[in-house]
Amino acid sequence: MKRFNPFCVMVALFALIIAACSKDDNKVDNKPENPKELILEKTSLTLKVAETATLTVTSGNGSYTVKVADQAVASATVTQNTLKITAIAQGETVVTVADAKGKTASLSVTVTGIFAVVDKSVTVENGAKTDVKLQNGHANYNCVCVPEGIVLVSAKTDNVLSVEGLKVGSATVTVTDVQSGKQDIFEVTVTGMPFTISKNSFVLEVGNTEQVAITSGNPDYKVQYSIENVVKAQINGNVIHLTAVGAGKANVIITDAAQQKATIAVTVNGAVAGDIFDVDEGEDENEGEKVVSLKMNAVATGAITIPDEGTVLDASIFDGNKDITSADLKNITKIGDGAFKATTNLKKVVMTKVKSIGVQAFISSGLTELTLPASIETIKSMAFMNNYSLTKVTVLNPTPITISLNTFATSAQNREKRILYVPKGSKTAYENNENWAKNFKEIRELN
């Protein structure tokens, strides 16, 4: 009779249990898993041309692919769970994403147009502002105006620029949308506002001043005169300062940047020639002449005219006078010593019959040009010394008269600007005269 072995029974029973458990495990592993729904971060998206956007696949089953319905409107790529959309052209399309389990999700994409300036040409009044509309911009713009100084351009809102007229003229403005790099241009014309002034006529006494307000206009302003040496005008900001300098009537014409004109009629009351001058019979060296002198306490200002009967201008008659601006010597044949000495504001002198000019007659005057008549015979020493503004001298006498080296003495700087004009055929004669030639940079013949 065989004996019963309990150990063997236990081993067999354990093996049977292990096998049963293994079958149960196989049943669990073979049960199919439910796939996840494919979900995108957004279901719709709006972009401007050239813009890009990224979205996240928030739920899905991996191994994603992407398809764009209209590839002319947008393109798309997917990397792991990140979807990238790039706008190409204005329009609408659908982007479809699929995963490994066949799940899909759609994204509606709208692409708006490219950046552009709506108002291609605008007109604004000087000093005023106007708006220029933009479309499809990103609210960060760079504006370049050519030429500068005509307009000032700044961003007003995301798609509106403010344009301010600074100066009458035209400018081209290039606008760059910084984010997209796209550019567009528009033209601006700045027109002038009406040019008006507060008063158009004055009656002044010599030496008096008056102010006129520019009530509306377009800087910068230019001043002209119908007659010189009656009134002077200076413009500071929006105020015209008038100064009466000599008896007479003149119009002050102001022109603004828009070429609009305003006229101020000015009458200046002052002593006329006969009121400030005495004309007396000459004595000694002036015997037989009519000598012109100033009356007691008389003051000459502005543009002066010597009485017709006068032939000799008294010595030192205008010495140190800073108010004379021009002088018409009429029938004067002889100018006395120091007659116009230090007349620093004297710019012009008319002499048609002068024969003799005295010592220091015009020393340190403000003359800018000078014509010596054909009648000239004598010019004494230092007559035109230190006339630092004198750059043009015309001599109508074809024969160089005798002068001193210091008659026209001046600074080296002024000499380099000074030209001597002489009658045709007499250039060589003047060049060979040392005292004439050394005081001028160049000698030219008149036509």
Residue 397 shares a structural domain with residue 366: yes
Residue 216 shares a structural domain with residue 108: no
Q: Among 12-21, 279-288, 435-444, where is mean pLDDT lowest?
A: 12-21
**Single residue among 191, 220, 246 that ends a domain in this structure:** 191
Residue 61 shares a structural domain with residue 91: yes
| Spatial contact of 446 and 424, defined as CB atoms under 8 Å apart | yes
pLDDT of residue 246: 76
pLDDT of residue 7: 57
Residue 349 shares a structural domain with residue 379: yes
**Single residue among 80, 112, 144 that ends a domain in this structure:** 112
pLDDT tens, residue by residue, 263-279: 999 998 865 445 789 99
- pLDDT higher than 60, residue 23: no
Residue 123 shares a structural domain with residue 90: no
Q: What is the mean pLDDT of the chain?
A: 90
- Provide the token pair at 167: 């100066």
Residue carrying the six token digits 């809102």 = 157
pLDDT of residue 156: 92
- Provide the token pair at 215: 């009530």
Q: Is residue 27 part of a domain?
A: no
**Adjacent-strand bridge partners of 76:** 85
pLDDT band at 137 (very low <50, low <70, confident <90, very high): confident
Residue 75 shares a structural domain with residue 218: no
Residue 232 shares a structural domain with residue 363: no
**Single residue among 269, 293, 320 that ends a domain in this structure:** 269
**Beta-strand pair 378-379/369-372:** unpaired
Residues of the chain with pLDDT > 70, as a percent, come to 92
Strands (E), 80-167: 82-87, 91-98, 104-112, 116-117, 121-125, 129-135, 141-146, 151-157, 160-165
First to last CA, the chain: 165
Q: Which domain holds residue 435?
A: 277-445
For the chain, the C-alpha Rg in angstroms (whole number) is 48
CA distance 177 to 385: 66
pLDDT of residue 394: 98
Q: Is residue 30 part of a domain?
A: no
Q: Is the peptide bond before 220 cis (omega within 30 degrees of 0)?
A: yes
Q: Is residue 14 part of a domain?
A: no
Q: What CATH number did the domain enclosing 68 receive?
A: 2.60.40.1080
pLDDT of residue 112: 85
Q: Is residue 427 part of a domain?
A: yes
pLDDT of residue 302: 84
Q: What CATH number did the domain enclosing 300 receive?
A: 3.80.10.10
Residue 85 shares a structural domain with residue 211: no
- pLDDT higher than 90, residue 11: no
Q: Is residue 16 part of a domain?
A: no
Residue 202 shares a structural domain with residue 139: no
Check residue 423 and report its DSSP letter: -
- pLDDT higher than 90, residue 207: no
pLDDT tens, residue by residue, 374-396: 999 999 999 999 999 999 999 99
Residue 295 shares a structural domain with residue 335: yes
User: How many domains is the chain partitioned into structurally?
Assistant: 4
CA distance 336 to 306: 14
pLDDT of residue 1: 47
pLDDT tens, residue by residue, 44-97: 999 988 889 999 999 999 999 999 999 999 999 999 999 999 999 888 999 999
Residue 283 shares a structural domain with residue 363: yes
Residue 237 shares a structural domain with residue 283: no
pLDDT tens, residue by residue, 307-340: 999 999 999 999 999 989 999 999 999 999 999 9
Model confidence pTM above 0.75: no
pLDDT tens, residue by residue, 101-132: 999 999 999 998 888 999 999 999 998 999 99
